Structure 1
Amino acid sequence: MSISNEALQKLLREVETQAIASQQQIALTRTQQAAKQREMRMAQLTRTEILSLPADTNVYEGVGKMFISLPVTEMKGKLETQIKELEGDVDSLGKRLHYLEVSQKNSKDQIDRMLRGGVNAS
C-alpha cells in the first residue's frame, strides 16, 4: 500500500513544522540555561566573598529600591538556597534540552525516511 503524494506532502509539512518548533525550543532552552548558569555563578561568587568576611561585618540585601541589613549567616543561607534552586533549574533545563534534541533528531530522521520512500516510489 502506497501513500498518495498529497498525503505524503502534508505529512512532510507537519514533520517539518515539528522540527522547526523543536529548533526554536532548543534555542530558547539554551538561552534560559545560560542565564541560569550565569545567575548561579554570580550567587556562588557572592557567597565566596561573604564567607571571607568577618562575622560582624554589615551585609546588605537589595530589596526593590532599598537595602536591608542582614546578618552574614542569614545572607549565606539565602545564597545557599538560591544556588540549590538554580542548580535544580539548570538540571531540569538540561533534561528538557536533551528531550528536544532527541525530538528534533527523530523529526529529521522521519523526514529523511519519507523523502527516501518518496524517491524510491517514483
Structure 2
Amino acid sequence: MPIPNEALQKMLQEIGQKKAFAEQQLSIVRQQMAVKNRENRMLQLTASEVGSLPADTKVYEGVGKMFVCTPIPEVQKRISTESDALKSEMANLDKKQDYLEKTYTNSKNSLEQVLRGGGS
C-alpha cells in the first residue's frame, strides 16, 4: 500500500531535517574534541616542564593581569585536576559523537529506503 504524496513529503522533510541537524551537531562535537585535545596536550607539556624543575624553583601562574608565585605541588595538583576534568569532558563528547553518528547514519539509511522503495 503506497504512502500518499503529502505524507511522503512530510516524512522526507522530517528525516532530512533530523539528518542535517545530526550532521551539524557532529561537526560541532568534532571541533570541541579538537579543542579539548589541544588543551590536554598543553596540560601534558606544562606538567612535564614543571615536573622537570628542581623543587626549590619559583613558579608563577597568571591570574588576570598579574602573576602569583605558586608552590610546585599546588601547580601539579591544579594540572592534575584540570586533566581529570578534560578526560571526563572527552568521554562525554565521545558518547555524544557516537550517538550523533548513529542518528546521522539511521537518518541517511531511512532517506535512502524511502526514496528507493517509495515508502512501502
Aligned 1:74-89 pairs, distance under 5 A: 74-89=74-89
Does the Cα contact within 8 Å between 2:59 and 2:69 map onto a contact in 1? yes
Runs of 4+ in structure 1 off by over 2 angstroms are none
3-state SS of paired residue (1:55): coil
Match of 1:59 in 2: 59
Match of 2:43 in 1: 43
Say yes or no: does 1:70 pair with 2:70: yes
- Structure 1 residue 117: deviation in Å? 2.0
| Structure 1: gaps of 5 or more residues | none
Quote the Cα distance in structure 1 between the aligned partners of 2:7 and 2:60.
65
- Structure 1 residue 51: deviation in Å? 0.3
Whose relative contact order is higher, 1 or 2, with alpha carbons under 8 Å and at least 6 apart? 2
Q: Compute the RMSD of aligned alpha carbons.
A: 1.2
Match of 2:27 in 1: 27
Task: Describe the superposition over 1:85-120 as per-residue Cα deviations: whole angstroms up to 9, x where unpaired.
Answer: 11111111011101100000000011111112218x
3-state SS of paired residue (1:67): strand
Task: Describe the superposition over 1:16-40 as per-residue Cα deviations: whole angstroms up to 9, x where unpaired.
Answer: 0110011100000000000011001
3-state SS of paired residue (2:55): coil
Quote the Cα distance in structure 1 between the aligned partners of 2:80 and 2:8.
54
Quote the Cα distance in structure 1 between the aligned partners of 2:47 and 2:108.
44
What amino acid does structure 2 have at the position aligned with 1:14? E
| Structure 2: gaps of 5 or more residues | none
Q: Judge which range, 61-70 or 27-36, deviates more.
A: 61-70
3-state SS of paired residue (1:91): helix
Q: What TM-score, normalized to structure 2?
A: 0.96
Q: Judge which range, 33-42 or 109-118, deviates more.
A: 109-118
What amino acid does structure 2 have at the position aligned with 1:16? G
3-state SS of paired residue (1:60): strand
Quote the Cα distance in structure 2 between the aligned partners of 1:30 and 1:98.
11
3-state SS of paired residue (2:118): helix
Identity, % of aligned pairs?
46
